[in-house]
């Protein structure tokens, strides 16, 4: 007879989304019902919208939806395009593929700029593709800033530079769902026309709220867009007091968001990004150490593209990532991310974004190493020491 092991203590949640919710955000979310037109709520609401604009680094309109990141993906597409429009999606991995599939579902022509999932897209190829499109058939370039499935960042500044260098008028749509609040993002400076974001990753909230920033150029495209839309339609939203949300506003999430924005700004966005960079580097040093004895290795082969919010760890041939993940969860109460689509069973992912510090990272890495041992996966032992050395050095300044 097998008995289920009871695991005490806090679960170490090392998923790249959802992420840990800070205690003060949890308390803020536990708010009694309030009329969403109550002046007390409107003050909170307007403050949160202003805070989100500071985090997106934009002065443009933002539109919010009761729905996860997928709702904001859909809003970005249906609000600016018409049937048959062509988009160029820069391949990054699972999430770029799924955004492209969604575009196809809406009758859009989703062209892909192909890329190696371990090395990332080539900006020279992007420039060449845009330069070759002399008829300007491509209405938009779509980019995923942080590919959560592979642990790689795509430079939005370089994507913008490719559009500028070729004088191509395409809109720039950017998915910041797993980067906003963890990696630097500058909507206006980088000329992003639609920025797509969600609540449950770097913003440290429960799932269920997503939003898009929209530039004046995106609003102009919206005025002539003919894809069917209603609940997500920006011009419908603009007629309402909240300039967002058709229907009931999820008030409790706004109390949470008010607190998470306060936390991010109290620490300072640049300090938040530096903390993510530091913890990410500790994870990478540990994984590099493990790889020494034919062990698991970094999936990302291009150090210029390392993501500071998630690391995908590639298993040695013949070993199942899911087995390691199950041991970590069921024996040690550490929750890791699984491999997505074609990376299923091949990688596990360590999420290191949001409400996270050194002991949580060190505990997670030590436990993953214990799980590798239990699973009989070869590795160079003592990877956590490489992380300890790096974090100690960083703290000595």
Ligand X SMILES: *Cc1c(COP(=O)(O)O)cnc(C)c1O
User: What residues numbered 75-114 form the site for ligand X, per CB under 6 A?
Assistant: 95
For residues 106-139, b (16+ Cβ closer than 10 Å) or e, as one string? bebbbbebebebbebbebeebbebbeebeeeebb
The residue behind tokens 């009871």 is 6
Quick one: 154 or 327, whose CB is closer to ligand X?
154
Task: Let me know: does 365 contact 384? Beta carbons within 8 Å.
Answer: yes
Classify residue 367 by burial, with Cβ atoms within 10 Å: 0-12, 13-18, 19+: buried
Binding of ligand X by 180 (CB under 6 A): no
Antiparallel, parallel or unpaired: β 347-351 and 310-314: antiparallel
Candidate list 144, 205, 313, 334; residue touching ligand X; CB under 6 A: 144
d(CA 388, CA 119): 28
Site membership for ligand X, residue 117 (CB under 6 A): no
Residue of 17, 256, 337, 383 that binds ligand X (CB under 6 A)? 17
Q: Is 307 in the site for ligand X (CB under 6 A)?
A: no
Binding-site member from 151, 181, 198, 296 for ligand X (CB under 6 A): 198
Give me the least distance between CB of 198 and ligand X, in Å please.
4
Q: Pick the closer one to ligand X by CB: 146 or 367.
A: 146
Give the strands of the sheet with 209-214, arranged side by side.
61-66, 209-214, 194-198, 171-175, 138-144, 86-90, 109-113
DSSP state at residue 114: -
Size of the site for ligand X (CB under 6 A): 12
Task: Give the number of C-alpha atoms closer than 13 A to the C-alpha of residue 224, restricted to the C-beta side.
Answer: 6
- Each residue 28-67 as x (binds ligand X by CB under 6 A) or -, in order, gives ----------------------------------------
From the list 156-164, 174-182, 241-249, 281-289, the region that binds ligand X by CB under 6 A is 174-182
Among 20, 129, 148, 260, binds ligand X (CB under 6 A): 148
Please state the closest distance from residue 6 (CB atom) to ligand X, in A: 30
Q: What are phi and psi of 64, to 5 degrees?
A: -115, 150
Cβ proximity to ligand X: between 144 and 253 the closer is 144
Residues in contact with ligand X by the rule CB under 6 A = 17, 68-70, 95, 144, 146, 148, 175, 177-178, 198
């Amino acid at each position: 007879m097998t008995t289920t092991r009871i695991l005490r203590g806090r679960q170490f949640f090392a998923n790249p989304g959802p992420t840990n919710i800070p205690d003060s955000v949890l308390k803020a979310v536990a708010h009694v019902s309030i009329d969403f037109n109550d002046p007390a709520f409107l003050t909170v609401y307007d403050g949160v919208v202003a805070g989100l604009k500071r985090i997106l680094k934009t002065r443009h309109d933002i539109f919010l939806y009761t729905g996860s990141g997928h709702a904001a993906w859909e809003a970005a597409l249906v609000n600016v395009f018409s049937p048959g429009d062509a988009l160029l999606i820069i391949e990054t991995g699972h999430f770029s593929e799924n955004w492209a599939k969604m575009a196809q579902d809406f009758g859009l022509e989703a062209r892909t700029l192909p890329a190696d999932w371990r090395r990332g897209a080539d900006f020279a190829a992007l420039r060449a593709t845009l330069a070759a499109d002399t008829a300007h058939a491509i209405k938009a370039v779509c980019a995923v800033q942080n590919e959560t499935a592979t642990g790689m960042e795509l430079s939005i500044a370089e994507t913008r530079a490719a559009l500028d260098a070729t004088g191509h008028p395409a809109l720039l749509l950017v998915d910041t769902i797993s980067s906003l609040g963890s990696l630097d993002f500058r909507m206006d400076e980088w000329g992003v026309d639609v920025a797509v974001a969600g609540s449950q990753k770097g913003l440290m909230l429960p799932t269920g709220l997503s939003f898009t920033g929209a530039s004046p150029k995106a609003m102009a495209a919206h005025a002539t867009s003919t894809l069917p839309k209603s609940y997500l339609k920006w011009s419908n939203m603009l007629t309402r007091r909240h300039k967002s949300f058709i229907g009931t506003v999820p008030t409790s999430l706004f109390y949470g968001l008010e607190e998470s924005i306060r936390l991010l700004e109290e620490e300072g966005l640049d300090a938040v990004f530096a903390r993510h960079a530091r913890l990410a580097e500790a994870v990478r040093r540990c994984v590099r150490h493990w790889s020494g004895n034919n062990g698991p290795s970094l999936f990302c082969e291009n150090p210029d593209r390392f993501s500071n919010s998630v690391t995908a760890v590639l298993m040695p041939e013949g070993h199942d990532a899911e087995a390691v993940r199950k041991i970590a969860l069921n024996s040690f109460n550490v929750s890791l991310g699984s491999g997505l689509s074609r990376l299923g069973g091949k990688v596990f992912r360590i999420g290191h974004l949001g409400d996270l510090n050194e002991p949580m990272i060190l505990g997670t890495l030590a436990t993953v190493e214990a799980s590798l041992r239990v699973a009989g996966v070869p590795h160079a032992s003592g990877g956590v020491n490489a992380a300890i050395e790096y974090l100690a050095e960083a703290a000595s300044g």
